[in-house]
């Protein structure tokens, strides 16, 4: 059955749950996309891990600085903008993202729940002291090279990106707020995620269990097995503005 966009306008509380696909049209590679250059022969899960960092800090820090440079050059796309606009039009919207970029914030979204941390929040790998201000991108960060991580001013340990690596726990507060919102909402939009990484991937199921409708927005149609589950096949940057036009005129 087709999803009726008017349900966006009548919702009491919408949860928007985003993955790498929402930033794809800003030119940011998703995790599904093949890695290139120095990182070609690695699996992201190896690079996005404390073991990977211990083994070769400069390789991992270089990978993140290259990604940070790409994000700095990118712009929020119509999907990010539509999500920020939707929040202005409904009584309550909770934005939960798996992404570590700041494109939602740059599109105007506030109080974004980052389940996997944020790239800009570097901290010491050893003593966890935050790096304080967002670090200047070093010369050539975008060139895809190994870059020695800066050292912690307190203990001399190497800085690490402020993201959640595989095998690391998610931020307690953000995760519980995300689960609470999913259990309370009457509509959850799951946008641009392959739904592979746990425990974030549980969020749409929590909403479904609690009686909400769940709409998946993804070029790859994902399973919409449940009566209250819908799949809209297409790009978020095209479908979301269209949904808002149909819902709010």
Residue 157 binds which one of ligand BV8, Zn ion, none, with CB within 5 to 8 A depending on kind? Zn ion
Residue 124 partner contact from Zn ion, ligand BV8, none using kind-dependent CB cut-offs of 5 to 8 Å:
Zn ion
Stretch that binds ligand BV8, among 34-42, 126-134, 181-189, 194-202 (CB under 6 A): 194-202
Q: Does residue 114 have an active-site annotation?
A: no
Q: Which of residues 115-154 bind ligand BV8 (CB under 6 A)?
A: 116
Q: 168, 196 in Cβ contact below 8 A?
A: no
Q: Is 233 in the site for Zn ion (CB under 5 A)?
A: no
* Span 107-126, contacts to Zn ion by CB under 5 A: 124, 126
Minimum CB distance to Zn ion, residue 134 (Å): 18
Which residue in the set 52, 162, 192, 204 belongs to the binding site for ligand BV8 (CB under 6 A)?
192
Site string for Zn ion, 143-182 (x = CB under 5 A): ---------x-xx-x-------------------------
Provide the 10 A C-beta neighbour count for residue 78. 20
Q: By CB under 6 A, tell whether 220 contacts ligand BV8.
A: yes
Give the residue numbers annotated as catalytic, written as ranges. Answer: 116
């Amino acid at each position: 059955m087709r999803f009726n966009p008017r349900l966006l306008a009548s919702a009491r509380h919408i949860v928007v749950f985003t993955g790498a696909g929402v930033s794809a049209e800003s030119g940011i590679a998703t995790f599904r996309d093949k890695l290139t250059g120095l990182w070609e022969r690695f699996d992201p899960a190896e690079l996005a891990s404390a073991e990977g960092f211990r083994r070769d800090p400069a390789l991992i820090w270089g990978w993140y600085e290259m990604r940070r440079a790409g994000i700095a050059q990118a712009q929020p796309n119509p999907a990010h903008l539509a999500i920020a606009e939707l929040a202005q039009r409904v009584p309550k919207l909770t934005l939960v993202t798996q992404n570590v970029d700041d494109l939602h914030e740059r599109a105007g979204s506030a109080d974004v729940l980052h389940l996997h941390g944020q790239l800009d929040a570097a901290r010491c790998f050893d003593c966890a002291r935050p790096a304080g201000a967002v670090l200047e991108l070093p010369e050539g960060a975008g060139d895809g090279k190994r870059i020695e991580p800066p050292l912690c001013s307190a203990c001399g340990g190497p800085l690490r990106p402020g993201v959640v690596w595989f095998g690391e726990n998610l931020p307690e507060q953000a995760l519980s707020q995300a689960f609470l919102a999913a259990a309370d909402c009457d509509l959850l939009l799951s946008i641009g995620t392959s739904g592979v990484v746990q425990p974030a991937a549980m969020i749409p199921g929590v909403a479904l269990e609690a009686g909400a409708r769940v709409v998946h927005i993804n070029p790859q149609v994902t399973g919409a097995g449940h009566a209250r589950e819908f799949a809209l096949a297409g790009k978020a940057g095209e479908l979301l503005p269209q949904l808002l036009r149909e819902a709010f005129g």
